[in-house]
Structure 1
Amino acid sequence: MRGDRGLHVRVRTGRGRTVSSNRWLERQLNDPYVRRAKADNYRSRAAYKLLELDERFGLLKGVKAVIDLGIAPGGWSQVVSRRSPGARIAGIDLLPTDPIDGVTILVMDFMDDDAPARLKEALGGPPDLVMSDMAANTVGHARTDHLRTMGLVEAGLEFAVETLRPGGAFVAKVLAGGADSNLVAELKRHFTTVKHAKPPASRKESSEWYVVAQGFKGRSPEQP
């Protein structure tokens, strides 16, 4: 991101703050995407990840209905509502999310049995795009964290296959190494193109990547 040459802010160790929290605060204060998000009235710097993915893949071109899995704090749905005015948007998250004009927000676990039906009802029709910025709470063990997050990706893909209109798209956060071979094979079975991307707004030290699947082929006749 060009044109941001703000002075570096150093944070002194404050009473009650750990060294790690102090580093996090200093990083936030010096992050150009954080400053830009405030200036552009986005709820989080994550909005720019979707904006950059859209610039590369055209994810939001012509979309009229979108599902946002892991919506909190709402930055991705803000992007959709600005780039595709009038689009129907339904989102879900365990965390409460402040209201967004034109967005239906469900406060519940996407892994609950009745969550998919609730989302379909909230949207009122098949989505053009299912997007997921979900990630499992980390436990500090890389392999376990990866498996837990990939479980969410697989659940998101299953939902996308059940709900997307033909030609639709699915984008989801994965971790370092991207989607494993079995998941990539499943994505390629249902979509015409499958790619991995790390948008510039994703911090270099972060392990997150995104898988972008476009051109949904539609449900096969044997699927229930």
Structure 2
Amino acid sequence: MQIDEEFKLLQKGVSKVVDLCAAPGSWSQYLSRKLRAAESESDVKIVAVDLQAMAPIDGVIQLQGDITKESTATEIVSHFSGDKADIVVCDGAPDVTGLHDMDEYIQAQLVLAALNITTHVLRHGGKFVCFRGKDITLLYSQLKIFFKEVVVSKPRSSRNSSVEAFVVCLEYSPPEGYIPNMSNPLLDHHYDLDFNQLEGVNRVVVPFIACGDLSAYDSDKTYGLQ
């Protein structure tokens, strides 16, 4: 996996991994081969989660569950004997509707759902890798709340015309006082939730982002040659 080679995601010492939206299981297969060859098999724990059933994969614990449920996060951690994961990966993508804006919105919500459960199961200093859509500037700013470094990586094997790329998040470091909670408003508002119950940083969805002045070139305009 080129992303692994570039960022050394599975370096020595990584033994607890979560694969979200794992079906059909290509990432889980790679993780199993790579980690079980480098570490003692008894130390390696790989947990794959998906709503759909998957074919068995050697060395991979499979959970058929919903990543928006706290019970799923609890079950993941139980397989690590109470410890947390070194890295969480998510290669999930929704079924395409053909409506561009809708597809982008759903993809962003899927990544946010993956991020939300990641805050429950990832250790401090851990890594998060997820498939991204095309227009997710807001998502980047949300990811930067929780990670010291957020990088977009496009596989060399991917065509230039393809939007395929991954967001690589390094050094998980949530804001001081942040409490992982599936009711936290990272996702769309749950209108039956009393947000007054949330305190401090837990009330913050995303900070204000200054976007610069209006003197820069506009990508939607045509300019004459100078």
Q: CA shift at 1:188, angstroms?
A: 1.7
CA gap 1:52/1:92 in 2 versus in 1, 3 angstroms: same
- Which aligned pairs between 1:71-86 and structure 2 lie closer than 5 A? 71-85=22-36, 86=41
Classify the secondary structure of the residue corresponding to 2:116: helix
**In 1, are the aligned partners of 2:130 and 2:166 still within 8 Å (CA)?**
yes
Per-residue CA deviation, residues 63-119 of structure 1 (Å, 9 max, x unaligned), is 110000011121111111222113210011122211112211112332345322222
Gaps of 5+ in 2: 181-226
Per-residue CA deviation, residues 147-183 of structure 1 (Å, 9 max, x unaligned), is 1111010111112222211210000001123x323x2
Q: Does 1:114 align with 2:71?
A: yes
Classify the secondary structure of the residue corresponding to 1:167: strand
Letter of the aligned partner of 1:75 in structure 2? S
**In 1, are the aligned partners of 2:3 and 2:155 still within 8 Å (CA)?**
yes
Q: Which of 47, 51, 56 is matched with 1:94 structurally?
A: 51
Q: Which of 179, 187, 194 is matched with 1:223 structurally?
A: 179
The residue that corresponds to 1:21 in the other structure is none
Q: Does 1:65 align with 2:19?
A: no
TM-score (structure 1 length as normaliser) = 0.70
Would you identify which runs of 4 or more consecutive aligned residues in structure 1 move more than 3 Å? 201-206
Structure 2: how far apart are the matches of 1:64 and 1:217?
20
Letter of the aligned partner of 2:109 in structure 1? G
**In 2, are the aligned partners of 1:162 and 1:219 still within 8 Å (CA)?**
no
Per-residue CA deviation, residues 174-215 of structure 1 (Å, 9 max, x unaligned), is 1123x323x222222221211001112334443322100001
- Which aligned pairs between 1:1-224 and structure 2 lie closer than 5 A? 51-62=1-12, 63-85=14-36, 86=41, 87-124=44-81, 125-177=83-135, 179-181=136-138, 183-218=139-174, 220-223=176-179
- CA-atom RMSD, angstroms? 1.9
Q: How many residues align?
A: 172
Letter of the aligned partner of 2:32 in structure 1? S
Per-residue CA deviation, residues 117-165 of structure 1 (Å, 9 max, x unaligned), is 2222234320000100011111110110111111010111112222211
Structure 2: how far apart are the matches of 1:55 and 1:160?
23
Structure 2: how far apart are the matches of 1:188 and 1:220?
14
Classify the secondary structure of the residue corresponding to 1:168: strand
Gaps of 5+ in 1: 1-50
CA gap 1:207/1:222 in 2 versus in 1, 3 angstroms: closer
Structure 1: how far apart are the matches of 2:15 and 2:120?
18
User: Percent identity, aligned pairs only?
Assistant: 33
Structure 1: how far apart are the matches of 2:131 and 2:140?
14
Which structure shows the higher helix fraction? Answer: 1
CA gap 1:201/1:97 in 2 versus in 1, 3 angstroms: farther
